[in-house]
A = this chain, B = another copy of it.
Amino acid sequence: MNAPPLRHGIIGTGFMATVHSRAVRRSSGVLSLVAGATPESGQAAAVSLGARAGAADAAELVASPEVDVVHVCTPNNTHAPLVRLALQAGKHVVCEKPLATCPDEAAELAGLAAAAGVVAAVPFVYRFYPTVRHAAAMVARGEAGPLWLLHGSYLQDWLSTPGRSNWRVDAAQGGASRAFGDIGIHWCDLMEFVTGHRITALVARTAVAHPERAGSVVTTEDGASVVFETDRGATGSLVVSQASPGRKNRLEFSFDGTLASLAFDQERPEELWVGGTNGNRTVLRDPAALDPAAAGYAVLPAGHPQGYQDSFDAFVADVSRQVRGDQVPGLPSFADGARAARITDAVLRSARTRTWVEVPA
C-alpha cells in the first residue's frame, strides 16, 4: 500500500464517465483529468466528477504525465482512434465496449495493445459479480458435469417506444449492430468466461421493433435470436432485445450440465440458482459460502446487497492491480473485446445470409 495512487484520465462526459469516476475513487486512485467534446465540457465534467482538472481535448489528456490509465467512454465510432492515441502515448487503457465497430479494427487494437505491453481492458463487468465467479468455479471443478445446453437472454426496454432514439441507433456512430453489439456481447463474454466454452458457429435472426424512430429509418437491430454451438459440443441459445417492455437490464443465463444447472439473473445478482434432479438450492453471495476465487469479490456480508457499481469498482480495482504487476485472473482484455467483435460480425452475416456461419477462434 505504499505505492503512490494510480492516476486516471477519462475521455467522455456521459453517464459511463460517472460510473468510471466512482470506481476510480473507490480504488483509491486519483482522477487527474477529464476530456470532453470541447474544452468547456471537459472542464465542467472535471468539476462534476471531482477530477483535478479538465483537459483541453483527448490529445492533451493522453499526453499528460499526470495520467497513468486512460478511460475511453465516448460513442463507439470514436473508440479506435482514441485507443490508438492512448496506446501511442504508452498509457494503460480501459475502453468501453464495443472495443470497435468492426472486427478488423478491434483485432488491430488488441494487437497494438499487446505490442505496447500495457494493460488494456474492456469493462465486461458482469464477470465481477461474486456469484458469477462462483458459477465459473463450480463449472471448473466439474460440479455441474459436462455442460450441454447453454441458454439465456439479455433484455432491455429503453427503446420500446418509437419516440426513443439515441446515437447508438445510427449505424454510423454506433456500428452496424446495435442491440447485439451493445449488450449481446456482454452475454457471450459472460458465457465463455463462466463455462470455458467458445462459440464456433451460429445462426441468427435480427429483428426491428420499430422501422422508424424519430423520423429516421432504423438501420440497426432492436433484437436478435441466436442459436450457436461450441467447441465442446454444447448447443446454445440467446435472445437479445432493447425493446422488451418491463425488462430493464435483464441479463440471465442457464448453463445446464448433466449434474446441475446454474442460473443467474443480473437484476438479482446476490443469488446463484443451482438446479439438481433431487432438489434445488440457492447460493447466496455469502463470503463464507463462496469459492475462494469468488469470495474476494464479496466485500459486504451476505444479505447486504452488492450491486452494479460494486462490480464496476472491482473491475477497476483489478485493472489497477494488473497495472501494478499482479497477474489478475479473469480481467477482460482487448483480446476479449476483439472476440466480441468477431461474434457480432458473425451474427450480422448469419442474419443477412440466413445460414449458419463459423465464428473465427
A residues whose Cβ falls under 8 Å from a Cβ of B: 1, 15, 19, 22, 25-26, 28, 47-48, 50, 148-149, 151, 153, 155-158, 160-162, 203-210, 222-227, 229, 234-237, 239, 241, 243-250, 254, 256-261, 266-270, 273-284, 286, 288-289, 299-310, 354-356
For the complex, give the distance between the alpha carbons of A274 and B246 in Å.
8
For the complex, give the distance between the alpha carbons of A50 and B2 in Å.
10
For the complex, give the distance between the alpha carbons of A148 and B206 in Å.
11
Known A-B contacts A245-B261, A258-B161; the reply to A148 vs B307 at CB < 8 A is no
Most B CB contacts (10 A, CB to CB) among A158, A235, A355 go to A235
**Can you show 14 pairs from A to B with CB atoms below 8 A apart?**
A22-B26, A25-B26, A149-B239, A151-B153, A161-B258, A206-B235, A241-B256, A244-B256, A246-B279, A268-B305, A300-B309, A306-B308, A354-B356, A355-B355
Known A-B contacts A151-B153, A227-B203; the reply to A247 vs B267 at CB < 8 A is no
Known A-B contacts A245-B276, A308-B300; the reply to A281 vs B281 at CB < 8 A is yes
Known A-B contacts A205-B227, A227-B203, A258-B209; the reply to A244 vs B306 at CB < 8 A is no
Least Cβ distance of A211 to chain B in Å? 10
Pick the contact of A305 from B203, B206, B267 — CB < 8 Å? B267
Stoichiometry, as copies per complex, reads 4
B235 touching A205, Cβ below 8 Å: yes
Pick the contact of A279 from B149, B208, B250, B282 — CB < 8 Å? B282
B209 touching A149, Cβ below 8 Å: yes
Pick the contact of A249 from B47, B158, B245, B303 — CB < 8 Å? B303
B245 touching A257, Cβ below 8 Å: yes
Shortest Cβ distance from A209 into B: residue: B148
Pick the contact of A227 from B15, B225, B250, B266 — CB < 8 Å? B225
Shortest Cβ distance from A152 into B: residue: B239
Pick the contact of A280 from B158, B160, B161, B284 — CB < 8 Å? B284
A280 touching B279, Cβ below 8 Å: no
Least Cβ distance of A344 to chain B in Å? 17
Q: Chain B residues near A151: list those with CB within 8 A.
A: 153, 225, 239
Q: Chain B residues near A207: list those with CB within 8 A.
A: 148-149, 234-235
Least Cβ distance of A313 to chain B in Å? 9
Q: Chain B residues near A222: list those with CB within 8 A.
A: 148
Known A-B contacts A203-B203, A209-B258; the reply to A245 vs B277 at CB < 8 A is yes
B247 touching A225, Cβ below 8 Å: no
A149 touching B243, Cβ below 8 Å: yes
Contacts beyond the supplied A25-B25, A279-B281, A305-B308: 18 A-B pairs with Cβ under 8 Å: A28-B50, A149-B239, A151-B225, A157-B261, A205-B235, A225-B235, A241-B256, A244-B254, A245-B257, A245-B260, A248-B302, A249-B302, A267-B270, A278-B289, A279-B289, A280-B284, A281-B282, A300-B308
